[in-house]
A and B are shown apart, each in its own frame.
Chain A
């Protein structure tokens, strides 16, 4: 019973965060602010939703697979945002406040 309530709370909170992320990606003014909205909400929503499903699944093989999915999402989603921001800076897309120098090849 308490597991059901807990997982319901997690899933709903995850859904709310996903929707906030989508809204942020659409309405934010600049590329970098959109990236901020999308990647933060992706991560927290992934943790909440997969956590909620894992509570429902109990101790089976499915839980281990879900834990693996969560681990890989936590690793790759922020890295992808980092790579995207690097590519954007390299290409010269400027953030709104404070200009960025074009990156010199220093290593």
Chain B
């Protein structure tokens, strides 16, 4: 029965993808991308991958749509007509599709216990997690401790992406003076629309609180740093939409955001260096406390905090870079 649900959702996904590609109004494409992300999250959920589904939900539903709309505010709303050689593109796509279909003939069946991914390291991780790390969520154990070095790389990738966007979007555009018409109007967001404003302001602390819950609950259920960073960034973005850019930048100024961006990655690296200074390898958390398992818990909490801080900072920097760019 679950297979039927999965197939149905995947069919809707294909239809949505076709509609996104074929639509000429970019606004419609952005909204359809939101629906696409919802369908993907539902699919991940049906496949029992709760952490991934949570990340897709947190980023795709809120932050991604807002960033796309911010980009649309700066550029046009209709797609320019395509001009490249369409037969060549069709040929390449067909060949690639046939290769991928051929590759799926060797795929193991869904949930097959003899699949290669269930042997070797996968089963070792699942066996050793209760003994070495002792937290119920094996995904966080693998991500935080067994593969901590990979996650360090991911945090630095997010950090680099944030710096890259800030470089690209902070450049001053040479503009004509008559473009800057509304310079004397204070930017006011949605302050005149009372119903969204009141309800939105009431919800902001709850979203923030839920983000903190997801951050620290990553050991016991779906959650962790990436999801929590996206949720907390979504709450601040909601404040910025409701009250206007100027007040949001007064609440959390850019220099605090830049400290957040760098600080999270620094925290992660500092945990690794601290374990080296305490006598063991880089990112070996067992030496952080007297009992190795307590040390692992402390290490995982600290690095998830680092991940969450960096992701929040980067998403907010990118949002402000888009939102503040059209104005003087």
Direct contact of A and B (CB under 8 A): yes
Q: Is A98 among interface residues, defined by CB-CB distance under 8 A?
A: no
Q: Is B193 among interface residues, defined by CB-CB distance under 8 A?
A: yes
Are B196's CB and A79's CB within 8 A?
A: yes
Are A72's CB and B199's CB within 8 A?
A: no
Contacts of A83 on B, CB cut-off 8 Å?
193, 195-196
Binary B-proximity of A16-35 (CB < 8 A = 1, otherwise 0): 00000000000000000000
Task: Give Cα A51 to B252, complex, Å.
Answer: 39
Number of interface residues of A (CB under 8 A): 9
Task: Give Cα A86 to B190, complex, Å.
Answer: 11
Are B206's CB and A72's CB within 8 A?
A: yes
Q: Which of A56-107 contact B (CB under 8 A)?
A: 72, 75-76, 79, 82-83, 86, 105, 107
Task: Give Cα A72 to B196, complex, Å.
Answer: 14
Are B199's CB and A79's CB within 8 A?
A: yes
Query: For residue B194, which residue of chain A has the nearest CB?
Result: A82
Main SS at interface, chain A: helix
Q: A72-B206, A75-B202 are in contact. Are A107 and B192 (CB under 8 A)?
A: yes
Q: Is B203 among interface residues, defined by CB-CB distance under 8 A?
A: yes
Task: Give Cα A72 to B206, complex, Å.
Answer: 10
Contacts of A72 on B, CB cut-off 8 Å?
203, 206
Binary A-proximity of B184-217 (CB < 8 A = 1, otherwise 0): 0000000011011001101100100000000000
Nearest-neighbour CB distance to chain A for B172, whole angstroms, equals 30
Q: A72-B203, A72-B206 are in contact. Are A79 and B195 (CB under 8 A)?
A: yes
Contacts of B192 on A, CB cut-off 8 Å?
105, 107
Contacts of A86 on B, CB cut-off 8 Å?
193, 196
Main SS at interface, chain B: helix
Are A76's CB and B193's CB within 8 A?
A: no
Contacts of A79 on B, CB cut-off 8 Å?
195-196, 199-200
> Which of A72, A76, A79, A105 has the largest count of B CB atoms less than 10 A from its CB?
A79
Task: Give Cα A86 to B195, complex, Å.
Answer: 10
Task: Give Cα A80 to B206, complex, Å.
Answer: 17
Binary A-proximity of B161-197 (CB < 8 A = 1, otherwise 0): 0000000000000000000000000000000110110
Contacts of B202 on A, CB cut-off 8 Å?
75
Query: For residue A85, which residue of chain B has the nearest CB?
Result: B195
Task: Give Cα A82 to B200, complex, Å.
Answer: 12
Contacts of A105 on B, CB cut-off 8 Å?
192
Are A75's CB and B199's CB within 8 A?
A: yes
Query: For residue B193, which residue of chain A has the nearest CB?
Result: A86
Are A82's CB and B196's CB within 8 A?
A: yes
Task: Give Cα A76 to B61, complex, Å.
Answer: 14
Task: Give Cα A60 to B294, complex, Å.
Answer: 29
Nearest-neighbour CB distance to chain A for B195, whole angstroms, equals 5
Task: Give Cα A85 to B69, complex, Å.
Answer: 18
Nearest-neighbour CB distance to chain A for B203, whole angstroms, equals 7
Contacts of A75 on B, CB cut-off 8 Å?
199, 202-203
Query: For residue B185, which residue of chain A has the nearest CB?
Result: A105
Contacts of B206 on A, CB cut-off 8 Å?
72
Contacts of B195 on A, CB cut-off 8 Å?
79, 82-83
Query: For residue A107, which residue of chain B has the nearest CB?
Result: B192
Contacts of B193 on A, CB cut-off 8 Å?
83, 86
Task: Give Cα A93 to B196, complex, Å.
Answer: 20
Task: Give Cα A11 to B70, complex, Å.
Answer: 40
A-B CB contact pairs (8 Å), 19 listed: A72-B203, A72-B206, A75-B199, A75-B202, A75-B203, A76-B199, A76-B203, A79-B195, A79-B196, A79-B199, A79-B200, A82-B195, A82-B196, A83-B195, A83-B196, A86-B193, A86-B196, A105-B192, A107-B192
Given contact pairs A72-B206, A76-B199, A82-B196, a sample of 10 additional A-B residue pairs in the complex whose CB atoms are under 8 Å apart: A72-B203, A75-B199, A75-B202, A76-B203, A79-B199, A83-B193, A83-B195, A86-B193, A105-B192, A107-B192
Which 8 A/B pairs are nearest by Cβ-Cβ distance?
A: A79-B199, A83-B196, A82-B195, A107-B192, A79-B196, A86-B193, A75-B199, A79-B195
